[in-house]
Structure 1
Amino acid sequence: MRCNRRNGLETVKPTIGIVGGGVVGLCCAVALLDRGYGVSVFERDADYNAASWGNAGHIAVEQVEPLASPSVLKSVPNRLFSAGGVLGLPPSMARRWLPFAARLVAASTPARFAAGTAALTPLLAGAMPAWRDLVAAIDAPGLLREEGHILVWDSAASAKTGRQRWSRTAIGTARIVDAEPELLRRLGFLADPVGGAIRFTGSGQIADLRQLATTLEAAVEARGGRIVHGGVHLIDGGGRIVVAGHDVDQVLVTAGVRSRDLLEPLGYRVPMIAERGYHIRARADGWPADLPPIVFEDCSMIVTRYADCVQAASFVELGDPDGPPDPRKWDRLEHHVRSLGLPIEGPFERWMGARPTLPDYLPAIGRSTRHANLAYAFGHQHLGLTLAPVTATLVAAMLAGETPAIPLAPFDLDRFGRKGPHA
C-alpha cells in the first residue's frame, strides 16, 4: 500500500504491478502514479526491441475502421506477399495463423465491422488530446509533432482509385486535403513524378521513439515508480493474482503480444496473433528533416524521419513472435527504397517486431470478472502508439472506481468466451 496525505488526511492506495513496460504500460504507470498509486513496472526486455519502439511513429487517428472488415477479406489474394503485397502467411507458422484467420473471418461481418468502427471512433478521437496532455505532464513537448502525414500514389489511375476509397472511409477527427504544390515540389527527389498525393491533417508522429521510451521511464522513476527488468510469473491465488516474488495489491497486464502466454494458463481465452512488421533504418543525411511521415500506398510502405535516422516500414506477417524473420521482406523494402528513388542510403539497420492483434482488431481493456485484482490493456494491433495515452487515462479511471469517459464494454476480454477447465 502507498500512503498519501491530502488536506491533512492520510489515504491509502494500493500498489499496482504493471506487467509489460512498452508504451501502453509506461503510459499507464505515469497516469496511475499521478493519481497517487504505488507502481512497479515489470519488463522482460531491456533492449527497446519491442513493437512499441520500432513502429512507424505515426499517431494514426484516421484508422477508425478495424481491419476485420468485408473489404479487407476480399482484398486478401492481392495483398499476399507472394503476389507482391504486404500480407505474409508463412506456411511454417500455419498452426498459429489458421485459427486466427477463422476468427478474423467471423469478426468481419458488416454488423461486427460497424460495431468495431463505433467502438474505435471515440478512442481515436481522444488520442491526440491525450498525447498533448502526456507530453505536457512529462515535460517533453518536442516529442509530439502534429504536421499530419502524406499519402502518395505512383500513377494517376491508382490515385483516382485511392481517392475514391478514402472518400468512403471513416477517418474520425482527421481531414483530407489536396497536397499543396509546394509539397509536391519537395517530393521531387522521387524517381518518377507522383501520380497523386493527399495530405491528412489531425494526425501526428513521435519525433523519436527511443527518446520517448527513456523519457517515459524517467517520468515513472521521478514519480516514485519502479522499473524491474526480467520476466515475472503470475499465480492464481484463489480469486486473486499473485506476482511471484513481488508484493503488489493489483495486477495490470500490458505485455503486448506476451499477454497471451501470461493469461491463458490462468484460464483466459486470448486468441491473439503476433502480427509481425519489418523496418529498415539508415542515417537521415539525405531526407528533409521537416517532412511528415509519407505513406507510399501502392507498395504499402510508410517512411518516417526521426531525430537522427529515416525509417521505411511495411508488412503484415501473421505468425510466431519468436519465429525467425524472413529476410525477403527486408530485401523488398530496400528494393522499394531504390525503385522510388528515395534519398536513403545504407547500410541499413534491420528490425522485425510483433504487433499484438486480436481477431476483431479491437484492443482488450478492462477488469477481470474472475480475479478481483486483475486488469488488462493490450492487443492494440497497429494502434498501440496511437492509443497508449488515452488507454492509460481510461485504465486509471477504471482502477479508481470511476466511470471511464469511453465505455469499455466493447473491449472486454470475455467477448472471446472463457476457457474450459481442461482447455
Structure 2
Amino acid sequence: MATITEAEHLITVQTSARGEGNVIPEKYLNGLDVEWKEMWTNHGKNMEGAHLVTIEEFRRCPERYSFTYPTWTGPEVHHLQDYQVPVSNPEGLITCRVYTPAGPGPFPVHLNFHGGGWVLGGLQSEAAWCRSICNGSSIVVIDVDYRLAPEHQYPIALYDCWAAVRWAHTNAQSLNVDPNAISIGGLSSGGLITAVLAHFARDCFPPLELKLQLMVVPATDMRYVPLAIPNAEPLTTESCPYPSAIFCADLPWSPLARESWFLNYYIGTDEEVRSKVLSDWRMTPVLSPSMKGLAPAHIVTAEFDVERDEAEYYGQLLREAGNQVTMKSEMVQLVLVMLEEEEEEEDDDDVRTKSTTLDFSSTPQPQAHSLGPALQPLEKESKS
C-alpha cells in the first residue's frame, strides 16, 4: 500500500479548535469521578491530540501531544533482556523485550502487544505495566515492538506479533518459560491484534493452545470510522451500530478523529482499498467466519470510549460460540495510565503508593496460569 501523504493527512487534522479542543464536554461531566476530571485538567486539557499533527511532528516530541505518555518506567524486575526476532513479509527484525521475575522457573509467559493505533507506541509506552505484571504475578512478560505504520501498513503488525508468539513457543527452554502456559494480550489496537492471533493459534498445525487472550478496550469493528472527519456526516444509528461510538465521538482523550487518523496511516486513504481491508476479518474480528474453540477471553472496556460497544459485542459473539469469556468495565480509558508526581523528589511513601496504583489481585494472567482464583463473569449494564 502507498504511504499516506501529508496532504492526505491534513484533511483529517482540523477537527477541533486548538487550545479549547481538549475541554471535557458537559455531557460527560456527571459520569466522571472527581479524580479523573482533576487529572485531565492538570495534565491533558492543554495538550494537543496526536491526531492534530502529522506523524512526523508527533515523533519529534511525543510527550507534547499525549498526556498518557509514560513518565514512570515501573518497578525494577529481576532480569530484562532484548532479543532480535526475525519476521517476514517484508523480512526484517523486531525487538522483543523479555521481563523475567525472580525464581527458578520455568515461568508462565504473557506476550503484550502495545496500543497506539498501529502507528504510535513502543517498548516504553507500556513498560510500567509489563514490569508490574512480571513482579506481581511471577510471570515472564514479553513486550513486542512490532513494526508501525505508515512505513509498515496492514497487515504487517499482525504477522510481526504472530512471529513473536511462535518465537516464544519455539524458544521456551532458553527463555525459561513453559511452552504450555502462554497468554497474549493488548490495549486498543493491541487488543485487535490479540483477537486475531487467538484465531491464528487455533488454526495453525498443530494448534497452539493459549491460556488467555486479554483484550483491553479493544478495537474489533472500525467500519464506521470515516475517512475525512471535517467533511463526514455525524455518525447515526443508520451508519454505526454502536451507541458508544456515536455518543463518544467528541471524547477529548480518545475522539473519533483519532480513530480516523490511525486508520488513514494504517490502511491508507484509497476508498476501494479501505473497503476491502475493513471487510477482512483480520481487520474486523467481528466478521470472523468461526468464533468456536478460541482461548479463554478477558475483555476490559471503558464506559466512556468510542470502542466500548464493539468490544462488548465481540465478547458476546465469543460467548455465543461457546468460549469462556469474562468482562470488566472501567469508568474511563485509564487502564495503563501512570503519571509521575510533579515533585522532583519523592519519599518512600510516594514510591509505594505509585507501585500499587494497579491492583494485580484481580488481573487475569495469574488466574489463567492457575496461579490464583478464577475471575467471575460480570453482568453488563446497558448503556446509552
Question: Which TM-score applies when normalising by structure 2?
Answer: 0.30
Task: Determine which structure has greater relative contact order: mean sequence separation of CA pairs < 8 Å that are 6+ residues apart, divided by chain length.
Answer: 1
Structure holding more strand per residue: 1
Query: Larger C-alpha radius of gyration, 1 or 2?
Result: 1
